[in-house]
C-alpha cells in the first residue's frame, strides 16, 4: 500500500517560531479525520543527532541556536525532516509531509535568521547519502515567500552538482552550471490574476526539473505568500492546492512518487488549519 508519513511534535503547536505557536494551534486535532484513512501514518518527530548537525553547521552557530528562544524546537524540526527522508528511501512510506516548529532555508553554514535554525533539507540530503548512496540526486522547489539563502549557500559550499535548487522569490537568476535558479515572483500580485501568473512560474520551474534525473523531490512549502500574510503575493487558498497537484503529479512521473513536503513560513492559523490537512489528503490519494 502506498503510504503518506506525517511528521509532527506537539512542541510545534505550543512553542513554534514567530507566532509563538498560534498558527498550528489547531493541531494535532485537525489531523484526526485524516488518520482514519488507513494509509496515513503519524510519526512523532525525534531530535536530529548533534553529530549530523555538526557536519553542516559550525560549533559557533550551533551554540547560538541553542541559546535562541525562537529555536527551541530546532532539533525536533530538523529531525522530523531527516527521518521522513530515511523512511521514504527505506520504502517504509511513499511520501511525506513534515511539520516544523522553526524553519530551515535561512540557515547557512555559520548563520541563521528569519526564525530558521538548522537547515533541515540539507541535513536530510547529507544523511540520506550516507545511508542509501552517495550519488543520490534531489530537486528542491522552494515556494516560501523569501529567498532560500541558507540552502543556496550550503549547496554552493558543498559544490553539490546532484541537487537542483529552484527558488521562487524576489530575483531572477540562473547559475552558470544550470543547477541553481531564482524566479522573481514579486510582481504577480500587481496584475489581475496572481494565481495564474504564479502557477505559470511553478510550471516553468518544473519544466526545468523534468530534465534533471533525481531520486527525491522536496517541496519547501511556505504559505506566507497567501493574501494577507506577511509575504503576501495575493495568492488564494486554492492556488496552494493546485501547486500540490502539480508537484505530486510531477513526482509520480519523475521520481516514482518520492515526494517530501516540508512546511516553511506562514503565520495565519485559519489558513494552516484549512490548507495543511488538504495537502496531506492529496499526498495520500492515488488514482487506481
Q: pLDDT tens digits for the chain (288 residues)?
A: 899 999 999 999 987 655 445 899 999 999 999 999 999 999 999 999 999 999 999 999 999 999 998 899 999 999 999 999 999 999 999 999 999 999 999 999 999 999 899 999 999 999 999 999 999 999 999 999 999 999 999 999 999 999 999 999 999 999 999 999 999 999 998 878 999 999 999 999 999 999 999 999 999 999 999 999 999 999 999 999 999 999 999 999 999 999 999 999 999 999 999 999 999 999 999 876
Q: How many CB atoms lie within 10 A of CB 259?
A: 26
Q: How far apart are CA 275 and CA 218, in angstroms?
A: 18
Cα torsion angle, 91, 118, 241, 216, sign: negative
Which class for 41: exposed (0-12), middle (13-18), buried (19 or more C-beta within 10 A)?
middle
> In terms of Cα–Cα distance, which of 152, 150, 143 is closest to 231?
143
Enumerate the H helices of 32-137 as residue ranges: 32-35, 50-56, 59-67, 74-89, 120-132
In residues, how long is the chain?
Answer: 288
**Domains parsed from the chain with CATH numbers:** 4-283 (3.40.800.20)
Question: Which residues lie below 8 Å from residue 150, measured CB to CB, with a gap of 6+?
Answer: 104, 105, 106, 107, 108, 111, 112, 116, 119
Cβ contact 235:194 at 8 Å: yes
Residue 260: strand pairing partners? 96, 218
Give first-to-last CA distance, the chain, whole Å: 12
Q: Say what the pTM is.
A: 0.97
What is residue 173's DSSP assignment?
E
Amino acid at each position: 500500500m502506498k503510504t503518506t508519513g506525517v511528521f509532527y511534535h506537539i512542541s510545534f503547536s505550543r512553542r513554534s517560531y514567530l507566532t509563538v505557536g498560534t498558527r498550528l494551534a489547531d493541531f494535532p486535532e485537525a489531523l484526526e479525520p485524516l488518520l482514519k484513512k488507513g494509509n496515513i501514518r503519524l510519526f512523532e518527530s525525534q531530535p536530529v543527532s548533534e553529530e549530523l548537525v555538526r557536519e553542516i553547521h559550525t560549533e559557533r552557530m550551533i551554540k547560538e541556536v541553542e541559546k535562541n528562544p525562537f529555536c527551541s524546537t530546532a532539533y525536533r524540526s530538523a529531525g522530523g525532516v531527516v527521518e521522513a527522508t530515511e523512511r521514504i528511501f527505506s520504502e517504509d512510506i511513499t511520501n511525506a509531509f513534515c511539520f516544523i516548529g522553526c524553519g530551515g532555508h535561512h540557515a547557512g553554514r555559520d548563520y541563521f535568521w528569519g526564525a530558521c535554525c538548522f537547515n533541515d533539507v540539507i541535513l536530510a540530503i547529507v544523511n540520506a547519502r550516507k545511508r542509501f548512496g552517495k550519488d543520490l540526486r534531489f530537486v528542491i522547489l522552494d515556494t516560501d515567500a523569501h529567498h532560500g539563502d541558507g540552502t543556496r549557500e550550503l549547496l554552493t559550499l558543498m559544490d553539490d552538482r546532484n541537487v537542483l535548487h529552484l527558488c521562487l522569490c524576489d530575483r531572477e537568476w540562473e547559475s552558470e552550471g544550470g543547477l541553481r535558479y531564482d524566479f522573481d515572483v514579486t510582481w504577480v500580485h500587481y496584475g489581475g490574476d496572481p494565481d495564474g501568473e504564479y502557477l505559470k512560474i511553478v510550471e516553468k520551474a518544473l519544466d526545468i526539473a523534468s530534465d534533471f534525473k533525481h531520486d527525491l523531490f522536496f517541496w519547501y512549502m511556505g504559505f506566507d505568500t497567501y493574501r494577507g500574510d506577511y509575504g503576501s503575493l495575493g495568492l488564494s487558498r486554492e492556488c496552494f492546492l493546485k501547486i500540490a497537484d502539480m508537484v505530486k503529479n510531477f513526482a509520480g512521473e519523475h521520481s516514482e512518487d518520492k515526494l517530501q513536503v516540508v512546511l516553511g513560513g506562514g503565520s495565519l492559523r485559519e489558513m494552516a488549519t484549512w490548507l495543511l490537512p488538504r495537502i496531506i489528503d492529496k499526498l495520500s490519494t492515488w488514482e487506481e
